[in-house]
Amino acid sequence: MKSNTNMEPNINMKPSNDKKRPSLLNIRSLMIAIIALLVLVSGIMGIRHFMEDDKEVKFQVLEEKEIPQKIKEILPRYQNLERALACKVNGEIFVIVTRGEKPTGGYTVDIDKIEKIQGEDDKFKIVVYARFKDPKPGDVVTEAITYPYILTKTNLDELPYRIELKTRYED
């Protein structure tokens, strides 16, 4: 038996790669999985957006001359209290925030935002975020009893079943 001590390289042999190249099937499967995941996440985000309970209500602050006569007539009944209320006049919904009776001028009220929170049976409540400001010591103010309030016209179509007033004081 002859031993072949002559080790000649085999030209027909392909060099062996230790690293395997991913097959096109694996890349394609991975891309389909990523796309499916993106579609699923987008769907969930879309549903959350449309099912969200809190919606900001658009409103416009009215000047004294723009206040409907009906509201001018009922306002004295509520201006002694610190509260928020809504009323419907000529098919439009108005929100009023009153501060109650104050010993002098210089007390103000502003509305930062109004949120609509959907409840059961097509009922909803609104949360009115109001900002109160009191006069500082030494400010020149009217020496008379005042009843600060703010009146807004909203984009609501119907009256809420409940109104919640959240206040913060401004320095």
In whole angstroms, what is the distance from residue 95 CA to residue 37 CA? Answer: 44
Instruction: Sketch the domain layout of the chain as residue ranges.
Output: 22-52, 54-170
Q: What is the pLDDT of residue 168?
A: 96
Percent with pLDDT over 70 in the chain: 80
CB contact at 8 A, 149 and 79: yes
Convert the pLDDT of each residue in 150-166 to its tens digit. Answer: 999 999 999 999 999 99
Query: In whole numbers, what is the pLDDT of the chain averaged over residues?
Result: 85
CA 57, 58, 63, 66 dihedral sign is negative
pLDDT: which is higher, 139 or 20 = 139
- Residue 57 structure tokens: 């209500």
Percent with pLDDT over 90 in the chain: 64
Q: What is the pLDDT of residue 34?
A: 87
Q: Quote the pTM value.
A: 0.68
In degrees and rounded to multiples of 5, residue 114 shows phi and psi of -130, 130
Give the pLDDT band of residue 41 (cuts 50, 70, 90). confident
Give the pLDDT band of residue 19 (cuts 50, 70, 90). low
Q: What is the pLDDT of residue 86?
A: 96
Q: Which of 86, 83, 82, 104 is nearest to 94 (CA)?
A: 86
- Which residues are paired to 109 by β-bridges? 132
In whole angstroms, what is the distance from residue 44 CA to residue 83 CA? Answer: 38
- Per DSSP (E only), the strands in 18-123 are 54-57, 59-61, 82-89, 92-99, 108-118
| DSSP letter (8 states) at residue 58 | P
